[in-house]
Amino acid sequence: MIGNPATVARLMDQMQAHLPIPAAPSSQLVRMLRQKGLKISTERVLFIKRVFYLGDEGGISCDVTPAGDASAAYVVSLTHLRIDPSHPLFRDIRAYQRERAKRLAQSGQ
């Protein structure tokens, strides 16, 4: 198992209570979204509107569909989003991101 179920559930509950959460996309996510036709930059603020748990493969994933773009939904891994350091959940989210990246690297995924 990639993540600790209790830690993941607690973080998701905390995130639910703070929605919408502003986040900036990583450069890797920007490249992927541009291939899908979305005009976006690493400086554009997206808003996390919903959170989901997609198991070990997807981890905590977030709906960041831009307003007015009803043609497609954008659900991305929390690990590809940057949260403002002043956000109350910054430390918890960053800890999750680091731990997930470390465990994925260890598992060879």
Determine the pLDDT at residue 109. Answer: 61
Residue 35: Cβ-neighbour burial (10 angstroms; 0-12, 13-18, 19+): exposed
Does residue 1 surpass a pLDDT of 70? no
Closest CA to 73 of 36, 45, 107: 36
pTM of the model: 0.89
Q: Has residue 109 been placed in a domain? A: no
Instruction: Report the distance separating Cα 96 and Cα 102, nearest Å.
Output: 10
pLDDT tens for 36-95 read: 888 889 998 999 999 999 988 889 999 998 777 667 788 999 999 999 999 999 999 999
Determine the pLDDT at residue 104. Answer: 86
Q: Has residue 80 been placed in a domain? A: yes
Give the count of domains, the chain.
1
Does residue 108 surpass a pLDDT of 80? no
Q: Has residue 38 been placed in a domain? A: yes
